[in-house]
């Protein structure tokens, strides 16, 4: 029996986390939600995430900083970024470090699903 992929959802907005959790669950994936990058880094789910969906702008550590931090430690989990304030320089940085998606809020569910499909095929 194949285990369903685990998606880590990181956003400081609880409504976004909840909505993403239900979307991911409807696709048959397991998901865990975190209110900050630090919460994810301290969780038992850090090493079993198949993909990370993260807000770009969060207090203390941004999603892009989290990706950089994990990459510097050899952790290659695919990232999909979501943001209410798309900035081209941040988008370029995230994609150059291997992000599979950089989506603007409000999210287009189909675009997110396409990014998840791409991330989980890696």
The CATH number of whichever domain residue 13 belongs to comes to 3.40.50.2300
Residue 80 lies in a domain: yes
Number of H helices, E strands in the chain: 5, 5
- Whether residue 42 lies inside any domain: the answer is yes
What is the number of domains present in the chain? 1
**What is the pLDDT, as a whole number, of residue 2?**
65
Q: Is the peptide bond before 106 cis (omega within 30 degrees of 0)?
A: yes
Mean pLDDT computed over every residue of the chain: 95
Residue 19 falls inside a structural domain: yes
Residue given tokens 């397991």 in the structure block: 30
What domain range is 108 assigned to? Answer: 6-121
Does 1 reside within a domain?
Answer: no
Interatomic CA distance for residues 40 and 25, integer angstroms: 19
In a domain, 62, yes or no: yes
Q: Give the model's confidence band at 22: pLDDT under 50 very low, under 70 low, under 90 confident, else very high.
A: very high
Q: Is the pTM of this model over 0.85?
A: yes
Say if CB 51 and CB 77 are below 8 A apart.
Answer: yes
Question: Residue 71: pLDDT band by 50, 70, 90 thresholds?
Answer: very high
Token pair recorded at residue 10: 């990181």
């Amino acid at each position: 029996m194949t285990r369903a992929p685990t998606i880590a959802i990181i956003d400081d907005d609880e409504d976004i986390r909840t909505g993403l959790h239900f979307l991911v669950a409807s696709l048959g994936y397991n998901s865990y939600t975190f209110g900050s990058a630090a919460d994810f880094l301290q969780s038992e789910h850090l090493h079993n995430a198949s993909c990370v969906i993260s807000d770009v702008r969060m207090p203390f550590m941004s999603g892009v900083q989290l990706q950089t931090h994990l990459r510097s430690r050899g952790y290659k989990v695919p990232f999909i970024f979501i943001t209410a304030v798309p900035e081209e320089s941040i988008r370029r940085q995230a994609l150059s470090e291997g992000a599979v998606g950089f989506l603007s809020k409000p999210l287009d569910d189909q675009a997110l699903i396409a990014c998840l499909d791409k991330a989980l095929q890696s």
